[in-house]
Structures are given as C-alpha cells and as structure tokens.
C-alpha cells in the first residue's frame, strides 16, 4: 500500500515538474518573439514594401569615371594640374517613388577646406529632370532643359576639377527630390551639408560616392 502511494506521489511530482517546465518554455519563446529586432526574430524595422523608405534604400549612385573610394585620375583635375577639367560620368538606379527632380553636388572637406557647410564647392547641378538616369562625362548641362548650375569655389558656375596641393578626398552625392522642392536658381552655392539642411523635407533619397585626387 505504502509502495503504491509512493509511486503515485512520484508520478504526480514528475507531472508537476513537467508542467512547470513547459510553461517556462512557452514564456521564453514569447519573449524571444517580442519584436526586439535581434537576429532571427523576424522583427521588421524597415518600411513596408512599396513605401518610400523601402524603395529609397535601393537608390544607388555609380560612376564609370570614379570608383567609390578609389583614385580620381588627372583627366578630371583642373588645367593647372595638367587635367582636362571635365566633369565625371554619373549614373543612378533604383530611384524612390515620387521623385520629381534630382540634384548633384560635389565638395571637398579635406583641410584647409572646412567641414559641412564650409566645405570647398566643386560642382552642383540642380533641377535635373526626373527621367534622367545619369550625367555623361563632360555633359553640356545647358542642353538639359531647366537645369541650373551652382557656383563653385572659383566663383564661376559649373564644374571645377580637383586642384589641391596634397591628396584630397572628394564626395559626390545625388539627391532625389519630391514634387514640393522649389526650382533652384543658377549660381546657388550649396555644399552637400548646406543642401541637406535647406531641402531636408524634399529629399526622399540620396547616395554618395567618393574618390581621392593626389597631385
């Protein structure tokens, strides 16, 4: 009799431990799937497919003239450096939905140039039509309807190639702008940081490449 009761008590005890363990496992599983964004949780921290954020993430700038992070050849440098002072080729893909125009800006933040809004301006092209997918090497911007050229560090409108006394890094950014962006006048002198501050509400996508010129 006592032996039977002992076995019955042991079975009840084992069932209790099993139930408690099962409950703990369920609670742990729920905690891991709480959307904390950790690996393997399936948490979605981006935009839903078809939304601007999701599409803008694929917006990409490339150049057959300059490899991102690579060297800029003398061809694109100023004439006093023995260059041809012609603008590089640019191409972009994956524009965000709703793009109405593009802008391209090239500047230099290597000392003695300043940072951000104080960078040295080399090239800016505004009001580029939404159906354009790039700019050809040395392209005549006056042939593109509505396009305006910004002022560079020399005080002229248009492209001013690298002309540094030592190696400098140059960054080129393409901006996709929404329909509420105003038409920008020729002669404006926006650095990349200045443009981003002035048109933050209208920028719906951007991408940047950079290159180093060594005299």
Per-residue buried b or exposed e for 71-96, using 16+ beta carbons within 10 Å of the residue's own CB: ebebebbbeeeebebebbbbebeebb
**End-to-end distance of the chain based on CA atoms, in angstroms?**
100
pLDDT at residue 68, as a whole number: 64
Q: Is the pLDDT of residue 39 over 80?
A: no
Tell me the backbone φ, ψ of residue 61, rounded to 5 degrees: -105, 135
**101, 177 in Cβ contact below 8 A?**
yes
pTM of the model: 0.74
**Tens digit of pLDDT for each residue in 83-105?**
999 999 999 999 999 999 999 99
pLDDT at residue 66, as a whole number: 82
Nearest-angstrom CA–CA distance, 3 and 122? 94
Mean pLDDT for 156-167 is: 97
The sheet with strand 70-71 has its strands ordered as 70-71, 203-213, 168-177, 101-108, 120-129, 148-149
pLDDT at residue 56, as a whole number: 53
Mean pLDDT for 120-144 is: 98
Q: Which one has a higher pLDDT value, 205 or 46?
A: 205
Mean pLDDT for 187-201 is: 98
Q: Which band of pLDDT confidence, cut at 50, 70 and 90, is reported for residue 24?
A: very low
Q: Which band of pLDDT confidence, cut at 50, 70 and 90, is reported for residue 57?
A: low
Q: Which two tokens stand for residue 91?
A: 């191409």
**159, 122 in Cβ contact below 8 A?**
yes
Q: Please, what's the largest Cα pairwise distance for the chain? A: 108
Mean pLDDT for 55-72 is: 81
Report which secondary-structure segment, H or E, holds 212: strand 203-213
């Amino acid at each position: 009799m006592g032996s039977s009761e002992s076995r019955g008590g042991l079975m009840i005890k084992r069932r209790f431990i099993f139930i408690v363990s099962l409950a703990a496992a369920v609670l742990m599983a729920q905690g891991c799937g709480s959307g904390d964004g950790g690996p393997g949780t399936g948490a979605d921290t981006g935009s839903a497919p078809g939304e601007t954020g999701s599409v803008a993430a694929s917006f990409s700038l490339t150049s057959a003239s300059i490899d991102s992070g690579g060297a800029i050849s003398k061809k694109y440098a100023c004439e006093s450096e023995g260059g041809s002072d012609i603008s590089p080729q640019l191409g972009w893909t994956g524009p965000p939905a709703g793009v109405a125009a593009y802008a391209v800006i090239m500047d230099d933040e290597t000392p003695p140039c300043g940072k951000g809004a104080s960078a040295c301006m080399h090239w800016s092209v505004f009001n580029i039509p939404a159906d354009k997918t790039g700019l050809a090497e040395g392209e005549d911007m006056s042939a593109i309807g509505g396009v305006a050229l910004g002022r560079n560090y020399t005080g002229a409108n248009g492209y001013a190639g690298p002309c540094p006394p030592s190696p400098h890094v140059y960054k080129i950014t393409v901006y996709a702008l929404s329909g509420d962006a105003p038409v920008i006048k020729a002669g404006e002198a926006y650095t990349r940081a200045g443009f981003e501050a002035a048109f933050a509400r209208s920028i719906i996508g951007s991408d940047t490449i950079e290159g180093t010129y060594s005299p």
